[in-house]
Structure 1
Amino acid sequence: MSTQTHTVTFKVPTRDEVSPTNQAIFDHMQSAFGKVPNLYATFALHENALEDYLSLQNRKTTLDSKEKEIINLVVSQINDCKYCTAAHTAVGKMYGFTDDEILAIRRVDISFNDKFDALAKFVKETTISRGRASEKALNTLFASGYTTENLIDIIVLIGDKVISNYLHNTTKIPVDWDAVPNI
């Protein structure tokens, strides 16, 4: 008995190929950002997924923009998500990180800020261990100034990024962000 494999190809949907609800979201993104990023468009292959994901992504948090980008970059690097690494490199630059700082964040070797380094190390360990960070990583996180409330936000943001990383790594839709160096 022979086993055939089939290559599954995912197409990024256009505005006309998504539901009216998703079309409204596309219109908002187009006016706000000048484009609808391919990964967001891919969420729109499902009636509710884009709106649900954006609600998760835009929830109120105790973390600042730089801290959120550290989490996004570390999780995306660990999950080898080319799309999210490129996207969050661009966003990280918008929030003031330099190219060298972004590479340090992706390497989880942040010598320019001890608090950010503790965060990145905790995120790396938590992502790799599927939520089972060591007591040392947790204690270091808290000793660097993070609170229990911050911890909850960190875990939620790791989950958010895992969702988008897995969607891209499964669909392999084209990256529509500037290429970033491999590390």
Structure 2
Amino acid sequence: MSTFNVPKREEVSENNQAIFDHLEKAVGFVPNLYATYAHSNTALENYLNFSNAKTSLSAKEKEVVNLAVSEVNQCVYCLSAHTAIGKMNGFTDEQILELRSGKASFDNKLDALAQLAKNITENRGATDQAVIENFLSAGYTKGSIVDVISLVGDKTISNYLHKTTNVPVDFPVVEPLSLVGV
């Protein structure tokens, strides 16, 4: 059982209330994990600014990273949320399962990206040189590597927040890869 509640709008700062209102309008609800950031007067805004910052990665590529990182960090909240978002970005259920495992046999460039994201996360940044070379050979740049590392950090923050707080998942909950035969 979590010692963290999911704060309601009236329980957060005025600044966070305005963010809640914006999220409600844009997304249709305030995801529990975002609401949890609002225990801090500054963390929700800071996180959203970081998460929505410009990057060389497309929305689809960002989901590749989000799924691979969240799988390594075993964050059921983020895996569930990014499975839903991955589907909105055109990935099939089978592709999402493969991306979670750090592979993308259906697309060589995304495969290099998934491998890099998984390797960075597993090795805490001590990335294997062969994985970097494969990523660059797939058409990415050194700048893309920096953007992937930033996104790994972004997703790791959310993964850690959920694993620490264990707030309820408010997306369709996904099964561990071991239970779905991957």
> TM-score under structure 2 normalisation?
0.95
Deviation of 1:142 after TM superposition, in Å, equals 0.3
Of 58, 67, 80, the match for 2:61: 67
Q: Which amino acid aligns with 2:174?
A: V
Q: Distance in 2 between matches of 1:107 and 1:72?
A: 12
- What does residue 121 of structure 2 align with? 127
Tell me the equivalent position of 1:3: none
Deviation at 1:8, TM superposition (A): 5.4
Measure, in 2, the Cα distance between the counterparts of 1:84 and 1:95: 16
Match of 2:180 in 1: none
CA contact (8 A) 2:102 2:111 kept: yes
Q: Deviations over 1:24-52 (max 9, x none)?
A: 00000001111000000000000000000
Contact kept? 2:31, 2:170, Cα under 8 Å: yes
Report the Cα distance in structure 1 between the residues aligned to 2:2 and 2:66, rounded to whole angstroms.
27
Q: Larger C-alpha radius of gyration, 1 or 2?
A: 1
Instruction: For residue 181 of structure 1, report the CA deviation from its aligned partner.
Output: 2.4
How many residues end up aligned between the 2 structures? 177
Measured in 2, the distance between the counterparts of 1:21 and 1:131 equals 34
Q: Percent identity?
A: 52
Taking the TM superposition and a 5 Å limit, the aligned residue runs for 1:18-57 are 18-57=12-51
RMSD, matched Cα: 0.9
Give, in whole Å, the separation in 2 of the partners of 1:24 and 1:99: 35
Structure 2: which amino acid aligns with 1:13? P
What runs of 5+ residues in structure 1 fail to find an aligned partner? 1-6
Matched, 1:153 2:110: no
Structure 1 runs of 4+ off > 2 angstroms?
none
TM-score if structure 1 supplies the norm length?
A: 0.95
